[in-house]
């Protein structure tokens, strides 16, 4: 139900009683020959309630049950949602935190050696500990300051965490650029496709106006219809996909499509007696009409200006007319 | 989500503007379904419902096996 709602359907209701309540109320059911009796069906639904699997019981597909995200995935999702600044900030914060931790550890028991001698205490020692933490986090490892004892484990942990965080920072940078590029490519492709659609529709229209009803004309009509059907499909896709196009562009495209449908229906109705259409031609026509009748102001997922809606309704209307002309052929 | 009762469902079945959809798998639909309902299995709804019911304000009532 929520699936239908997501698809844009507004007038939805559910009958929770289902087949079971219907049968229990004594109403007739429809069933294919050789189906189980009413009692068996009821028993089937009842035993389903006791979680025993029964062949006719409603099936729940495992694919529909959302997989529980693992802790690792949740962590990765969380990292991905952070901005570049936040990621870099947390990396720096971690370096400072480990630096201070190394120094505090050193106060308890010698943990860092600077050129072989234990690190001195005081502000200089803290700075050296921070320096060591930075060297460790960037995995440079100059070797002038080395950890010992428990600090070795901490250094390893810091290197691993810092690497992970830093790789997130880098991927953020790369993906940002990539997203920009993808958007650019998408925009250019759409413009190119729109231009091609407009040109093709124009060509289809002028061809349709000039084609005659003779045998050669029928062949030409077949070729034009093939191009027209594919462009019609492209217009249909534009309306049903989430790309947003200016209403003025849509209106002009739809107007050409509607004129094309009208002219095509005119030509089909005026075909000479006994003219035979090939199978592929009829299939293309059928496909074109099926696409056209799906286009109407209230059928598409987005709301459009009244002019565009009217143009869509006209496409549907002409599609139905073409469907009639097509049936007359068969 | 709006729920309809047995009596309301009967009225909807008589109304040509309303569509009653059985969302069970075809096997279950064949073994028993409410007369006048059409079968659109849950797995196929997404791909087929648009084709069957192009208008988004189409009244649709769904049902399955029932309360268990």
ipTM: 0.92
Please report residues of A whose CB lies closer than 8 A to that of B2: 12-14
State the pTM of this model. 0.47
Q: What is the pLDDT of residue A58?
A: 39
**In this predicted structure, what is the pLDDT of residue A125?**
93
> Looking up tokens 């004594």, which residue turns up?
A26
pLDDT at A329: 72
Q: pLDDT at position A59, please?
A: 39
Closest CA to B34 of A57, A27, A58, A26: A27
d(C-alpha A187, C-alpha A189), whole Å: 5
Give the one of B58, B60, B63 whose C-beta lies nearest to A18's C-beta. B63
The closest alpha carbon to A320, from A294, A297, A301, belongs to A294
pLDDT at position B35 over 80:
yes
pLDDT at A60: 41
Q: Does A117 touch chain B (CB under 8 A)?
A: no
Q: Which residues are CB-neighbours of A87 under 8 A, at least 6 positions away?
A: A79, A165, A168, A169, A172
**Residue A107 · residue A144 · CB < 8 Å:** no
A255 close to A289: Cβ distance less than 8 angstroms: no
pLDDT at A271: 78
Q: Which residues of A touch B30 (CB under 8 A)?
A: 31-32, 35
**Which residue has 């962590």 as its token pair?**
A75
**Mean pLDDT to the nearest integer, B10-35:** 87
Nearest alpha carbon to residue A243 among A308, A175, A194: A194
* Rounded distance between C-alpha atoms, residue A208 and residue A266, angstroms: 10
Which A-chain residues 250-289 have CB contacts (< 8 A) with chain B? Answer: none
Q: If you ran DSSP here, which 8-state letter would residue A117 be given?
A: E
Mean pLDDT of B25-40: 87
pLDDT at residue A64, as a whole number:
45
Q: Are A322 and A292 in contact (CB under 8 A)?
A: yes
User: What's the length of chain A?
Assistant: 330
Judged by a CB distance cut-off of 8 A, whether residue B30 touches chain A is yes
* A contact residues 130-169, partner B, Cβ 8 Å cutoff: none
What string of pLDDT tens digits covers the 330 residues of chain A?
677 888 888 888 989 888 888 888 888 888 877 777 777 777 766 544 433 333 333 334 444 444 566 888 888 888 878 888 899 999 999 999 999 999 999 999 999 999 989 999 899 999 999 999 999 999 898 999 999 999 999 999 999 999 999 998 888 888 888 888 999 998 899 889 899 999 999 999 999 888 876 667 788 888 899 999 999 999 888 888 767 778 888 888 999 999 999 998 888 888 777 677 778 888 888 889 888 888 887 777 777 888 888 888 888 888 888 888 877 776
State the greatest distance between any 2 C-alpha atoms of chain B, in Å, as a whole number.
33
* Chain B contact set for A301 (CB, 8 A): 56
Widest distance between CA atoms in chain A: 107
């Amino acid at each position: 139900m929520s699936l239908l709602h997501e698809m844009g359907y507004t007038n939805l209701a559910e009958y929770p009683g289902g087949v079971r309540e219907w049968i229990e109320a004594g109403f007739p059911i429809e069933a294919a020959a050789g189906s189980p009796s009413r009692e068996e069906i009821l028993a089937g639904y009842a035993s389903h309630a006791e979680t025993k699997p029964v062949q006719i019981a409603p099936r729940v597909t495992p694919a529909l049950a959302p997989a529980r995200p693992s802790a690792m995935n949740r962590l990765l999702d969380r990292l991905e949602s952070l901005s570049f600044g936040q990621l870099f900030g947390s990396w720096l914060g971690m370096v400072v935190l480990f630096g201070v931790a190394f120094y505090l550890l050193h106060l308890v028991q010698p943990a860092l050696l600077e050129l072989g001698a234990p690190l001195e205490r005081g502000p200089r020692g803290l700075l050296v500990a921070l320096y060591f933490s930075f060297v460790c986090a960037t995995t440079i490892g100059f070797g002038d300051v080395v950890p010992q004892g428990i600090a070795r484990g901490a250094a390893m942990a810091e290197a691993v965490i810092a690497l992970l965080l830093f790789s997130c920072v880098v991927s953020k940078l790369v993906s940002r650029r990539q997203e920009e590029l993808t958007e650019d490519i998408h925009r250019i492709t759409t413009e190119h496709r729109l231009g091609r659609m407009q040109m093709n529709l124009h060509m289809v229209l002028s061809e349709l106006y000039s084609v005659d009803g003779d045998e050669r004309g029928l062949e030409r009509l077949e070729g034009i219809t093939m191009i027209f059907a594919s462009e019609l499909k492209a217009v249909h896709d534009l309306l049903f996909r989430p790309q947003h196009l200016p209403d003025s562009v849509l209106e002009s495209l739809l107007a050409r499509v509607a004129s094309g449908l009208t002219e095509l229906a005119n030509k089909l109705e005026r075909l000479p007696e006994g003219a035979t259409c090939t199978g592929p031609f009829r299939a293309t026509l059928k496909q074109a009409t099926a696409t056209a009748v799906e286009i109407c102001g209230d059928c598409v997922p987005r709301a459009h200006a009244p002019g565009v809606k009217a143009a869509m309704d006209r496409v549907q209307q002409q599609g139905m007319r073409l469907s009639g002309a097509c049936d007359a052929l068969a | 989500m709006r729920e309809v009762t047995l009596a309301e469902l009967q009225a909807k079945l008589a109304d040509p503007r309303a569509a009653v959809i059985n969302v069970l798998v075809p096997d279950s639909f064949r073994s028993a379904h409410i007369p006048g309902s059409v079968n659109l299995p849950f797995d196929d709804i997404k791909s087929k419902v648009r084709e069957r019911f192009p208008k988004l304000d189409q009244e649709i009532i769904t049902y399955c096996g029932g309360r268990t």
